[in-house]
Amino acid sequence: MALEQQGANPERSKGPTPLLWAVERGHETIVKMLLERDDTNPNAADVHGRTPLFIAASKGCERVVEMLLERKDVNPNTANRSGEAPLFPAVHEGHEGVLKLLLERPDVNPNTTNVYGQTPLFRAAFKGHEGVVKVLLERNDVDPNAGGEGRQTPLYIAAQKGHERVVKILLERLEINPNITDLAGETAFSQALEREHYAIAKLLSEHRNFNLQLYFNGLTIHSPPWRSGLDQGHPKRIRRF
């Protein structure tokens, strides 16, 4: 390999390192060769704070992720400038295989947050990645109620976006709380109604922990007669009692 023959330093003072370059382009052979060198820093980030592991996770390169995680000195929690660890791009892009590899590391925190207070589960719910949500919820240490920006929960954002399957998956967790309000007093239920996701509103209303004392645009629900309206695909008028 020319790099070995020329005695090149794999860590350059400016621009992306050779390892970052190789990971960005998916060159597994070069990545393997660089990681075998003692003078390669596997945590060196680019100008955006993205490490080789972060980039490999975002691209779904499972073999490269495996090689990086085999290095004891690789930090799987190093965040980019938005405070996002490699879990986030794996979740955002829906790379279930990469996510599983990352979660196998005992030092990975599945409830890590970015600068907006969002967790990987929140991001998966936002994107509607059902498989990713399932993988995360298989872990007992993942908090299904951990809020994002403005105290929005994964259930809240899934209901808002109309991701019905994700809502169903989240509601299966025993500790899920469908009654959490955001900073404006809105809930997953009110968001579903507001955006006319009536099937989701019905799912939420049937949950064992659903609290009828809800507030939706200043209107208080004290009794469940509106459920018949949801059954027909539209909410009954909710009047102030």
% of the chain at pLDDT higher than 90: 77
User: Within this chain, do residues 58 and 27 fall inside the same structural domain, yes or no?
Assistant: yes
At 211 the pLDDT is 84
Whichever domain contains 60, its CATH number is 1.25.40.20
Residue 62 pLDDT > 90: yes
- Whether residues 79 and 119 fall in one domain: no
Condensed to tens digits (0 to 9), the pLDDT of residues 38-48 reads 999 999 999 99
- Structural domain including 29 reads 1-109
Tell me: do 63 and 88 sit in the same domain.
yes
Domain-ending residue, one of 83, 109, 135:
109
Assess if residue 133 is contained within a domain: yes
Residue 100 and residue 133 in one domain: no
User: 232 pLDDT band (50/70/90 cuts)?
Assistant: low
The tens digit of pLDDT for each residue in 77-126 reads 999 999 999 999 999 999 999 999 999 999 999 999 999 999 999 999 99
What is the reported pLDDT for 189?
A: 94
pLDDT (tens digit, 9 = 90+) per residue, 147-167? 778 899 999 999 999 999 999
If asked whether residues 64 and 99 sit together in one domain, one would say: yes
223 within a domain of the structure (yes/no): no
pLDDT of residue 135: 98
The predicted pLDDT at position 4 comes to 43
Task: Tell me, letter by letter, the H, E, C secondary structure of the chain.
Answer: CHHHHCCCCCCCCCCCCHHHHHHHHCCHHHHHHHHCCCCCCCCCCCCCCCCHHHHHHHHCCHHHHHHHHHCCCCCCCCCCCCCCCCHHHHHHCCCHHHHHHHHCCCCCCCCCCCCCCCCHHHHHHHHCCHHHHHHHHCCCCCCCCCCCHHHCCHHHHHHHHCCHHHHHHHHCCCCCCCCCCCCCCCCHHHHHHHCCCHHHHHHHHCCCCCCCCEEECCEEECCCCCHHHHHCCCCCCCCCC
Domain assignment present for residue 61? The answer is yes
Residue at 229 is within a domain: no
According to the model, what pLDDT value does residue 16 have? 87
Co-location of 7 and 82 in the same domain: yes
Domain tally, the chain? 2
pLDDT for residue 103: 98
Specify whether 27 is located in the same domain as 94: yes
Question: Average pLDDT in the 170-174 region?
Answer: 96
